Chain A
Amino acid sequence: MPPPGASVAGWGEIMQGLAIRLAQESPIPLDVTLSCRPGELLALVGPSGSGKSTILRSIAGLYRPQTAHIVCDGEIWADSTTGRDVPTRLRRIGLVPQSYALFPHLTARENVLAAIREEPAVDADRRADEFLALVNLKGLEGRRPAELSGGQQQRVAVARALARNPRVLLLDEPFSAVDKMTRGRLYQELAGLRTKLAMPVILVTHDLDEALMLADTLCLLHRGSILQTGAPLEVLQRPATVEAARLVGQRNIFPARVAGHDPDKGITRLDWRERPLEVRLQSRWKPGADIAWLIPPSKVILHRRDRQSRGEAENPVQGTITSLIALGDTIISAVKLDRAERRELTFHVPRHVAERNRVALGEHVGLSLLAEAIHLMPAAEPRGRRS
């Protein structure tokens, strides 16, 4: 990715696809540099107000931040230093907004036709129908948006965006307004379409699972700045900072100090109030450094009463169960650890295991923290009060 501040003219030579740099102070703070290659699907993930839609609209030319450098396939779409600003209609973008923005007075076919500009009239009709067939709307070409379901409207919007033959496809929370079942179907369709799409695709969503399912790259946004960019699973399990970790929903975050490394055994040792820990080797941390570590709830293993398991030797801790929430087949539980650590440890356990092991409120249980899954991050910024 080109470093921020690199001259925009050089970007086009570096890659095909989309490269952007946006910055402003107000009304919405932004400080973003990212790129997306042809065929890559980049998910912009973040809470409401983090600027995801603003970024998308800036790429589309519907919003002009104070500082903007946008290059697509070598063509400069925006450059605030020279004042260059290619209008939206000349940028060849395909945008699927959250509300779909279908033309209410036109049929599905006519909506798609609106984006087809090169063909002579005879062929255009056929091409429009092809796009609609591509998104599985064959037979519904003559319907108006009011006569289509939410999922069908979304597909028309996608077809229209694709019919533009766009250089980049922009999707703004396109699945948020449909029900779960339809959403599942639409995920599959988009995944299937992707193989035929030769353009960068940018998907804005607040749903991490969606990003996990669809994206090649996940870009974590918070208050207009990118906290982390990388493969979705990487960002989820190996967040770069405590802030990022909290944003992706990790709860088991604790402070500790690096005691030392054992490269031969592949472990790093931590000094933690509760007990010393042995974790996967992460040698970038100097011994003596203050760090924060996390472990996903699924990697905290309950010591079973009925039989011993091999993992019990790994970082065993004891605690008292303070909460139990059943969600379907899984129990989500939190324990208060025995020793000094005040914070609770969250873990998941299948329901049948919980029942067989008499997991109940107030019960004292043993847990193992799998070394492989413990991930180290810089120490958290001190907050106003201790949590």
Chain B
Amino acid sequence: MDWTALKLSLELGFLTVLALLPIGVLVGRWLAHSHFSGRDVVEAIIALPLVLPPTVFGYYLLVSFGQASPLGQFWQAMTGRPLVFTFEGLLIASIIFNLPFAIQPMQRSFEAIAPEIREAAACCGMGWWETLRRIDLPLAWPGILTAMVLSFAHTLGEFGIVLMVGGSIPGETKTIAISIYDRVQAFDDASAWTMSLVLLAVSLVTIALTYAASRRIGRRLG
């Protein structure tokens, strides 16, 4: 059992979710309530990581983040560390490729709130922030929870992008998924087996939580 890799994966998952919470809420809510002509395009761009093969995505991230890229060099100059082969780079990549997992369930959840309810909030005198806090969030929380849980699980399981952008640096970018791959090559079946079981358990718990939350969405707004 590679505890460092597990700890790394959990940290990556947790920090990704933390970063995606405000992004998902704000973007999801904005998309739910805006009707502008470019909306479909924006939604399609956000959904890209869902359909793009991880290696394609990883390749483009590498091109954008790598040592040769302006972004990569800027980052190196600012922080003294590169964007590739580091945890920070992995975190940024993780936030990007989890965008659809975070935004879409939240967006659906906000869309499910009847417009009359939000109009009633305006009639009561509530402003943007107050409506978000008192009306949208309490009604949409099952979708928000689903989004967070899905993003967390997806991050734990991501392999191709992590390998391409992060390499397999122990203690830095060698996540549990990479570690399993590595242990198989080292003919260490026992470790591979244990770690796979842990990931399987996490996935099952994730799915169970998501289904329970969606039932609650239905009951609350139905």
Contacts and interface: CB of A to CB of B under 8 A. Distances in A.
Q: Tell whether any CB of A sits under 8 Å from a CB of B in the complex.
A: yes
B68 interface: no
B138 interface: yes
A51 B220 CA distance: 33
A93 B121 CA distance: 11
Given A89-B126, A89-B127, A114-B126, A101 B120 contact: yes
Interface stretch (B91-99, B111-119, B160-168, B181-189): B111-119
Interface string A97-112: 1010111110000000
B83 to A, nearest CB: 43
Contact of A99 (B116, B122, B125): B116
B138 A164 contact: no
Contact of B117 (A89, A101, A164): A101
B135 interface: yes
A115 B116 contact: no
B123 interface: yes
Contacts, number: 58
B221 interface: yes
A93 B123 CA distance: 6
Contacts of A89: 122-127
Q: Chain A's interface: helix, strand, loop or mixed, by majority? A: loop
B135 A103 contact: yes
Contacts of B124: 89, 114-115, 160, 164
A95 B123 contact: yes
A229 interface: no
Interface string A51-63: 0000000001110
A105 B220 contact: yes
A213 to B, nearest CB: 26
Given A88-B122, A88-B123, A105-B220, A97 B116 contact: yes
Given A101-B117, A103-B117, A160-B124, 5 more contacts: A97-B116, A103-B120, A114-B134, A161-B123, A164-B125
- Nearest 10 Cβ contacts at the A-B interface: A101-B116, A101-B120, A88-B122, A115-B124, A114-B124, A95-B123, A89-B122, A89-B125, A105-B138, A117-B125
11 contacts: A62-B119, A89-B122, A89-B125, A89-B127, A95-B119, A103-B135, A114-B124, A114-B126, A115-B123, A117-B125, A164-B124
Interface of A: 60-62, 87-90, 92-95, 97, 99, 101-105, 114-115, 117, 160-161, 164
